[in-house]
Amino acid sequence: MNTADRTPADLLRSALAGDASRPLVTYYDDATGERVELSAATLANWVAKTANLLQDELAAARGERLALLLPAHWQTAVWLLACAATGVVVEVDGDPAEADLVVAGPDRLDQARACRGERLALALRPLGGRFPEAPEGFTDYAVAAPAQGDVFAALDPPGPDDPALVVDGLALTGGELLARARADAAERGLVPGSRLMSTLGYGSWAGLSAGLFAPLAAGGSVVLCRNTDRLTAEARAARQESERVTHFAD
């Protein structure tokens, strides 16, 4: 755990400084059979491209509100960290009509159309694939993100006292988010190298903490699993062994 971290964006920087090649987020979808493994370097590249998209192409500024209408997914983790880097406030399952911009998965596009600002759509297809045809009124994230730069520098960097996240009625600054993540990591017994397998959704602080922030705060990594109701006990045990899971959240 790096006690010098001051904001959520610092968590990824610390992971890069430690071992950029180690797996940081591994994602399973048991409805599709998808498995994606992102090293710290690969995750940081996606985050940089997404943050550049936000800052340079969409002109999103520190303090603006983004309604995040996505499930627990590796691309959702990318958006959470990209917003942390730019200072854009993430409102998980927020009201698009009240947000400055919205990011939505394929099953929530009708809801997202209430946003009067920028709208981005994610197909959530394997390997980050694009829509066959971009939804009307939306920018396809899988088309827009790859063209962005691989290095991000915030024009107006957020600090620990800036608002960072709203989830399930809980509003947190960057510093408060980091403090909660560290406390959760300590309560779970996470240490550097811990590997936490989470089946929780991202619609609560508990899910966000277990599925991203607490493992990163501890210097560990996460195995994020979706649709595990389709997973047999034998397959779950085999996954735990193959992924070298040390801790669980479900």
Residue 53 in this model has a pLDDT that exceeds 90: yes
Q: What is the mean pLDDT of residues 58-87?
A: 98
Tell me what pLDDT residue 1 has. 57
Q: How confident is the model at residue 205 (pLDDT cuts 50, 70, 90)?
A: very high
For residues 211-235, average pLDDT: 96
Q: How far apart are CA 175 and CA 163, in angstroms?
A: 9
Contact predicate 210/184, CB 8 Å: yes
What residues form DSSP beta bridges with 103? 68, 120
Is the pLDDT assigned to residue 57 strictly greater than 80?
yes
Where residue 2 falls among pLDDT bands split at 50, 70, 90? low
pLDDT range class, residue 230, cuts 50, 70, 90: confident
HEC assignment per residue over the chain: CCCCCCCHHHHHHHHHHHHCCCEEEEEEECCCCEEEEEEHHHHHHHHHHHHHHHHHHCCCCCCCEEEEECCCCHHHHHHHHHHHHHCCEEEECCCHHHCCEEEECHHHHHHHCCCCCEEEECCCCHHHCCCCCCCCCCEEHHHHHHHCCCCCCCCCCCCCCCEEEEECCEEEEHHHHHHHHHHHHHHHCCCCCCEEEECCCCCCHHHHHHHHHHHHHHCCEEEEEECHHHCCHHHHHHHHHHCCCCEEEC
Mean pLDDT across the stretch 173-200?
98
The CB density around residue 149, as the number of other CB atoms within 10 Å, is 12
pLDDT at 157: 95
Tokens of 144: 């827009």
- In this structure, what token pair is assigned to residue 170? 């809980």
pLDDT-based confidence at residue 27 (cuts at 50, 70, 90): very high
Return mean pLDDT, the chain.
Answer: 96
The pLDDT-based confidence of 127 (bands split at 50, 70, 90) is: confident
* CATH number assigned to the domain with residue range 8-249, chosen from the 4 options 3.20.20.105, 3.40.190.10, 3.40.50.12780, 3.90.1580.10: 3.40.50.12780
pLDDT for 235 beyond 90: yes
Contacting residues for 98 by C-beta, under 8 A, at least 6 apart: 65, 67
Sign of torsion, CA 37 38 40 41?
A: positive
Q: Is the pLDDT of residue 148 over 80?
A: yes
Average pLDDT over residues 75-96: 98
Q: Output the CA torsion sign for 6, 53, 227, 26.
A: negative
